[in-house]
Amino acid sequence: MSERNIEADLVMLQKLIAVEFRDPQILLSAVTHRSYLNEHREATWEHNERLEFLGDAVLELVVTDFLFKKYPEKPEGDLTAIRAALVNTNSLAAVSEQLGVNKYLLMSKGEAKDEGRARQYILANVFEACIGAMYIDSGYETARDFIAARLFAATDDIVKKRLWQDAKSRFQELSQEKASITPTYDTISQDGPDHDRIFTVGVFLRHEKVGEGKGRSKQEAEQQAAQAAIANKGWED
């Protein structure tokens, strides 16, 4: 978002997300990363962390209500897993990218250079912050309709391909079914300071590395590696 054209950019952003705000300043906060305010002390608005907190709760309620009604036969455990697959970081970041929100983010020059997983976190958080902003500005129904239009269509595919099952469990089942091998995981590297560590993990079928993933914990990196392995092996279907 251009510092000189914030007002015009907010108009464009509202068109992108197809929601008109009575108070665009709330939307401005939703797309403002904490780091931007550290570099721009003159800014008079808040960063998006509180809105993200609120939006996360609204998102969970909307998706839970939808899944509860859509799948009356499924137990709580399955519904929880399906919900997690529908609103994970990758899913929310992808929606933000599809919307084109990325170009309207306000962040520090350093954060703007981040790519990969770090950028996905920022995009996912902005999506939730926008939901929180909609809830405050226009109410639950507006936020619900926005979420429904952007996320619900993916549900059938998630259930059909069992994407709701965590990637490690799915890959283990597929590996045993298709190759009669139990996969193993190995930490390849650990980068960054202790408070912001990034783990790189490889997943192997015997001695063949079939996938690699990164994450802020070994568990997250293993999930990413398993998902990559499923794609690399062509076992998505």
Strand order across the 198-205 sheet = 184-191, 198-205, 208-215
- DSSP structural state of residue 153: G
Of the listed 52, 56, 111, 137, which one is catalytic?
A: 56
The angle subtended at Cα 201 by Cα 171 and Cα 232, nearest 5°, is 45
Q: What's the rounded Cα separation, in Å, for the pair 126 and 31?
A: 6
Of the listed 9, 52, 111, 128, which one is catalytic?
A: 128
Helix residue spans in the chain (DSSP H): 6-17, 24-30, 34-39, 49-70, 76-86, 89-99, 109-112, 117-138, 140-151, 155-160, 167-178, 218-232
Q: What's the rounded Cα separation, in Å, for the pair 129 and 137?
A: 12
Q: Which amino acid is at 50?
A: R
Specify whether the CB–CB gap between 163 and 85 falls below 8 A: yes
Pairing of strands 198-205, 208-215: antiparallel
SS3 sequence of 161-173: CCCCCCHHHHHHH
Q: What's the rounded Cα separation, in Å, for the pair 105 and 47?
A: 11
Can 56 be counted among the known catalytic residues?
yes
Q: What's the rounded Cα separation, in Å, for the pair 23 and 95?
A: 23
Q: Which residues are catalytic?
A: 56, 128
